[in-house]
Structure 1
Amino acid sequence: MAGLIVRMLCGCGVLAAPALAATEIVVATVNNEHMIEMQRLTPHFERANPDLRVRWVTLEEGLLRQRVATDIARGSSRYDVLTIGMYETQVWGRQGRLRPLDPPPSYDVYDLLPAIRSGLSISGRLYAAPFYGESSMLMYRRDLTERAGITLPERPTWRQVRDAAERLHDPKAGVYGICLRGKPGWGDNMALVSTMVNGFGGQWFGMDWRPQLQSKPWRDAVSLYVELLTRWGPPGSAANSYNELLTLFRAGRCALWVDATIAAGFVSDPVGSSVAGRVAFAQAPYSVTPQGASWLWAWSLAVPASSTHPAEARRFVTWATSREYTALVARERGWGAVPTGTRRSTYANPEFQRVAGHFASAEKKALDGISLVEGALPDRPYQGIQYVAIPEFQNIGVATGQQIAAALLGRASVEQALRAAQAAADREMRAAGYYGR
């Protein structure tokens, strides 16, 4: 009788089961083109996983790092998936703030390039999955160098780059000799400056962990960096990082650009690049040694220990960094738009080679010739190339970047900037107990 009353009240023969609400996972990411494309393609993931919905929080690189670092320190559950790099993976993974991913066999961890896999692993377990990987290299306008009679070798010296920048600088024609990162930040201007220091034979710390920022390699590298940008760089260089420089280069405003290998696909794409077909690629410049003269990085997806939906978050991370995702981008946008620097299978694909062969070989050579333990000539106590894999480095790198930006703006001499950076680094290391107070 009770069942009959219920059926009469609902106006149906059988009560409909309530629909289960989809679980929402929140992904924090950076505002670059590959990540924006991932957001556009997320409905494919949601259709294949109808029990999940993805909400995006997209931030400028510096703000992303600040927000994510704050959440990690507080153990906040605001985000289920974080976009981080190798530095955060090594530091936070060892602190127990990230969950190991342990992807299924179908993911094929060993398809990942060895340097990338090593940089995102701790004791053989993957703690972040690479969305795209990168080293650094020189991109230059082949049409301009040929017209000027300039020949750049496969791996040029910084002296050769300086001379080419001077000769190619033509601001009246709207072309600047060289474009380099100037925006202060440990992952902005210091990503480049650190590799310049390495290439001059320097390092961040000696074996006793004392900062080396007033050493001759630092003075030589930073002096050249300031000279390049103040004499032959675009106006306002102290505000430029990757996104701004990519825009300038694609618009034909830069003759030379040393930056992330991932940019090669964008500057080579006729859709959006006015210089497509006129760009050549070389390995990152050096001075004394090529060791550590190019960086190693991967924008990667990780699951914080504080996530309230770790299994669902791992499912998304596995999808977004899989070979299947690469194939999806190729179908939707073409092989020239796929995220690179992560998988052997991408570089072995004939379709990718056909579209990207002119830059892919230089990109893969840069990634194959580097590792986290590679540094400059002197011995050193730390891992990392353009960063130092210790928690204190973030503050030290930011402070140093600000001082070098001050030198670039003419507010301090190189000597004054490095003296102030040395003092700040020394205070940080003493406070952390690396050596006596």
Structure 2
Amino acid sequence: MRTPSRRRPRATLATAAAGTLLAPLISGCWAGAGGAGSGGDSLNVLMVNNPQMTELQKLTAAHFTKETGIKVNFTVLPENDVRDKISQDFANQAGQYDVATLSNYEIPIYARNGWLHAMNGYVAADPAYDERDVLKPMRQSLTGDDGKLYGQPFYGESSFLMYRKDVFAAKGLTMPAHPTWRQVAALAAEADGARPGMKGICLRGLPGWGELMAPLTTVVNTFGGTWFDKDWKARLDSPAFEKATNFYVGLVREHGESGAAQAGFAECLNNMTQGKVAMWYDATSAAGLLEADGSPVQGRLGYAPAPVQETRSSGWLYTWAWGIQHASRNPDKAWKFVSWASGKGYEQLVGDTGGWSNVPAGKRASTYERAAYRKEAAAFQEMTREAIESARPDNPGVQPRPAPGIQFVGIPEFTDLGTKVSQEISAAIAGRQSVGTALKKSQALAERISEEYEGR
């Protein structure tokens, strides 16, 4: 029997939540934001260093600055580093950065803490931006508790199943139009060894709340499990959660890639590109890389919706989006940059200069109506849009949830909790402990969160 919850006052909880976001910074040395903030006709933008963002950086001076006279100073960092620096500057409202790349995980939390500038007024005054063109799940995921918009997506993604059509044809295998996980496991067993050194499927096993826990949580959802029930009781020791985790761990151990406990998105991408796996369940954004000119598997892949068990859909929802810091000295000019970087005109610019397969897609309905884009991304574009539009962040499973999120739980504490749980499950994938042991430890970790939130 569990002991009664020791509930803290709401104000204390809010402080604890902000502290959780800043926790990665405590171990470092920081004496305040360096340098002067933006002002006048200058903006400071802090963003992640993925290829589509660095392409934006290259195009900004010759197009945005030339058109508006607004100079943009970019700070570009790897994902973990940029998240730490953003939380540092925004939580303290230091105002060094006007705009930053945030995901649909952070934006509702930051909005709740008053760290972001609402965008409703700008959207209403800028009909050319066409906010209604932004896919509904994206709009909803970037909306705060107060119903206001706090972010605009740069690109969006869901998850789906990628497979080698040529390998399936040679083995006489057929991918169902809407596969279940049980069917996928059977196909993985059949495809295992179809070619020398080829395994049946690649699934992430690398520890991390955004690595292993992203695909695994979608499996948990569709198997009927949840991290927390509507009353914030931890449910990692429930039969459904254990069944899903045993399934995932068993599948990757029996028919998954070698070194699975250290394989994340990048490793699975390499395995698929190099012909080492017949299937891969992961982000829809991977398709553009697999189908790019020069890819060894270009034209050889088929795509199917995220596998299900007890739900109609199970794909996740993710976006890198732009947020404007509440303390920005230049919010009006910041909006001009955000609306340019997330607008239809920017997509046209990328299509004209770098090819339509490089367009930051997954956010606007009009993208999927462009003939040039549909032609270049024919193999996966429709499946990607369907996956995004069928995502249900507020209702991803079979029971009510206390917080939004498909592949995460939308609370500040999840970064720490999800990473610690992923380490336990990765150890089970590596064979160092059983799934039962991993989940027993994980349940204890989650119960600490339950004690903070029960009764709210």
So what's the TM-score if we normalise by structure 1? 0.88
Instruction: Name the structure 1 match of 2:73.
Output: 54
Cα distance in 2 for partners of 1:190, 1:435 equals 27
Conserved in 2, the CA contact under 8 Å of 1:42 and 1:54?
no
* Residue 29 (structure 1) shift: 2.4
196 and 184 in structure 1: CA distance in 2 versus 1, 3 angstrom threshold: same
* Residue 171 (structure 1) shift: 9.1
Per-residue displacement from partner, 1:125-156 (whole Å, max 9, x unpaired)?
Answer: 32111011111100111111111111111221
1:184 equivalenced with 2:207 (yes/no): yes
Tell me whether 314-323 or 23-32 shows the greater mean CA deviation.
23-32
Per-residue displacement from partner, 1:35-68 (whole Å, max 9, x unpaired)?
Answer: 2322232233233233313223221x33333333
* Residue 124 (structure 1) shift: 4.3
Cα distance in 2 for partners of 1:78, 1:26 equals 7
Cα distance in 2 for partners of 1:125, 1:433 equals 24
Cα distance in 2 for partners of 1:411, 1:80 equals 46
Cα distance in 2 for partners of 1:166, 1:386 equals 26
* Residue 366 (structure 1) shift: 1.1
* Residue 303 (structure 1) shift: 1.4
Instruction: Name the structure 1 match of 2:430.
Output: 409
Larger Rg belongs to: 1
Q: What count of residue pairs does the alignment treat as equivalent?
A: 412
The one-letter code sitting in structure 1 at the alignment partner of 2:56 is M
Instruction: Name the structure 2 match of 1:274.
Output: 296
The one-letter code sitting in structure 2 at the alignment partner of 1:214 is D
Conserved in 1, the CA contact under 8 Å of 2:356 and 2:372?
yes
1:193 equivalenced with 2:216 (yes/no): yes
The one-letter code sitting in structure 1 at the alignment partner of 2:212 is N
Given candidates 321, 338, 345, the residue that maps to 1:317 is: 338
Conserved in 1, the CA contact under 8 Å of 2:70 and 2:333?
no
* Residue 91 (structure 1) shift: 1.3
Instruction: Name the structure 1 match of 2:420.
Output: 399
Cα distance in 2 for partners of 1:288, 1:363 equals 21
Instruction: Name the structure 2 match of 1:283.
Output: 305
Instruction: Name the structure 1 match of 2:131.
Output: 109
1:262 equivalenced with 2:303 (yes/no): no
Alignment of 1:33-432 (within 5 A): 33-43=51-61, 44-59=63-78, 61-101=79-119, 102-103=122-123, 104-122=126-144, 123-170=146-193, 173-271=196-294, 273-291=295-313, 293-430=314-451, 432=452
Tell me whether 362-371 or 29-38 shows the greater mean CA deviation.
29-38
* Residue 31 (structure 1) shift: 3.1
Cα distance in 2 for partners of 1:433, 1:218 equals 20
Per-residue displacement from partner, 1:160-198 (whole Å, max 9, x unpaired)?
Answer: 111222222239734332112222222221111110000
* Residue 350 (structure 1) shift: 1.5
Cα distance in 1 for partners of 2:225, 2:69 equals 53
The one-letter code sitting in structure 1 at the alignment partner of 2:206 is K
The one-letter code sitting in structure 1 at the alignment partner of 2:253 is T
Conserved in 2, the CA contact under 8 Å of 1:184 and 1:402?
yes
Instruction: Name the structure 2 match of 1:29.
Output: 47
Contiguous gaps of at least 5 residues in structure 2: 1-38
Cα distance in 1 for partners of 2:423, 2:97 equals 29
Aligned partner of residue 281 in structure 1, secondary structure: strand
* Residue 404 (structure 1) shift: 1.4
169 and 306 in structure 1: CA distance in 2 versus 1, 3 angstrom threshold: farther
Contiguous gaps of at least 5 residues in structure 1: 1-20
Cα distance in 1 for partners of 2:192, 2:54 equals 33
The one-letter code sitting in structure 2 at the alignment partner of 1:221 is A
Regions of 4+ moved over 6 Å: none
RMSD of aligned alpha carbons: 2.2
63 and 418 in structure 1: CA distance in 2 versus 1, 3 angstrom threshold: farther
* Identical residues among aligned pairs (%): 38
Cα distance in 1 for partners of 2:289, 2:52 equals 10
Cα distance in 2 for partners of 1:248, 1:327 equals 33
Cα distance in 2 for partners of 1:269, 1:208 equals 46
* Residue 254 (structure 1) shift: 2.5
Aligned partner of residue 358 in structure 1, secondary structure: coil
Aligned partner of residue 68 in structure 1, secondary structure: helix
The one-letter code sitting in structure 1 at the alignment partner of 2:68 is N
* Residue 22 (structure 1) shift: 7.5
31 and 251 in structure 1: CA distance in 2 versus 1, 3 angstrom threshold: farther
Cα distance in 1 for partners of 2:310, 2:359 equals 35
Per-residue displacement from partner, 1:101-127 (whole Å, max 9, x unpaired)?
Answer: 233221110010111111112344321
Conserved in 1, the CA contact under 8 Å of 2:60 and 2:72?
no
Cα distance in 2 for partners of 1:248, 1:29 equals 28
Per-residue displacement from partner, 1:78-101 (whole Å, max 9, x unpaired)?
Answer: 433221111111111122111112
417 and 24 in structure 1: CA distance in 2 versus 1, 3 angstrom threshold: farther
So what's the TM-score if we normalise by structure 2? 0.85
Cα distance in 2 for partners of 1:370, 1:171 equals 33
